[in-house]
Structure 1
């Protein structure tokens, strides 16, 4: 599992209003909650990570989209990072979903140049990338209730805190052979 690298993209909103339930007594008015914009300001985060932590991430500029050419450039930067940190002969198992830029001929040709084992996504499965379950939920919690996420994401402190490997919660063994995770 140390060799597995996976990646995905996520829209990060500049402002992250959190809606909460309110208890209101009879005759009282609830606290006003600002309505979300119809078209919120946002930027696109592309990131690749492994068990060791964040391998490479980029925030795309306003108006940029990920097409095959952009994705190949990102893969080249990821490859350079892996060569620098793990060595050129490092064993890498690479996983990404079936988005069009990921399955384009240019992307496939670029990945064939690398000595990586590409783990295919099942063709008709929903988008169930590991990033959606683990990485992006923690990112969203980290950004919630903070104004101007772009400034937060660009700040060295936030990116260092978010991208550094965090200690794992302790594993509690029960009488069965199946371990369960306890969050303390």
Structure 2
């Protein structure tokens, strides 16, 4: 923040629980959440972490829910962050990367995270574990038809993106 030399500097609060940022990785399908992973504090999301700690939860969750469907037929939607483009991830999986800087094409960004923010707004959490528990449990309260609906909306958004030849558009 830039301040005029004549003005007092703003009060800066010491970092506390409320100022900590944590990364939540969420996988969901057409009916419910499959996996919610919370990146440990002071840990960077790397391809190694992602494969060993996140994807290692995804395949068993899919197999449990759909035992007769081969996981080789599963398509995962990732953003374009570096760890998700590593060969250790893209070789064994069918991965669809949405275009860079396109949160309007990511179902978590345009649908799930706004719902979670709304439902968790105003609630106080004394420990990060309590927040993590709420983030894991809230998606399970969303009706199945809402999950199915978001995939329909996603298809409409993708079609609109294709029709615009990847150019920015508004109005969704």
Is residue 2:44 matched to residue 1:65?
A: yes
SS of 2:88's partner is helix
SS of 1:43's partner is coil
1:97-118 residue CA offsets vs partner (Å, 9 max, x unmatched): 111011012111232xxxxx43
Contact kept, 8 Å, 1:52 with 1:165, in 2: the verdict is: no
Is residue 2:130 matched to residue 1:152?
A: yes
Q: 1:38 to 1:158 in 2, by over 3 A?
A: same
- CA RMSD, Structure 1 to Structure 2 (Å): 2.8
Is residue 2:75 matched to residue 1:93?
A: yes
Give 1:96 deviation, angstroms: 1.0
Deviant stretches of 4+, over 6 Å? none
1:162 maps to what in 2? Answer: 139
Give 1:126 deviation, angstroms: 2.8
Is residue 2:108 matched to residue 1:126?
A: no
Give 1:142 deviation, angstroms: 1.6
Which structure: larger Rg? 1
Give 1:133 deviation, angstroms: 0.7
Give 1:76 deviation, angstroms: 2.3
TM-score by length of 2: 0.62
Q: Distance in 1 between matches of 2:69 and 2:25?
A: 25
Q: Distance in 1 between matches of 2:34 and 2:115?
A: 16
Using CA pairs below 8 Å that are at least 6 residues apart, which structure has the higher relative contact order? Answer: 1
Greater share of strand: 1
1:6-54 residue CA offsets vs partner (Å, 9 max, x unmatched): xxxxxxxxxxxxxxxxxxxxxxxxxxxxx88575123221111112110
SS of 2:139's partner is helix
User: Which of residues 84, 89, 93 is equivalent to 1:102?
Assistant: 84
Contact kept, 8 Å, 1:72 with 1:110, in 2: the verdict is: no
Greater share of helix: 2
The alignment of Structure 1 onto Structure 2 pairs a total of residues equal to 129
2:154 maps to what in 1? Answer: none
SS of 1:119's partner is strand
Contact kept, 8 Å, 2:51 with 2:88, in 1: the verdict is: yes
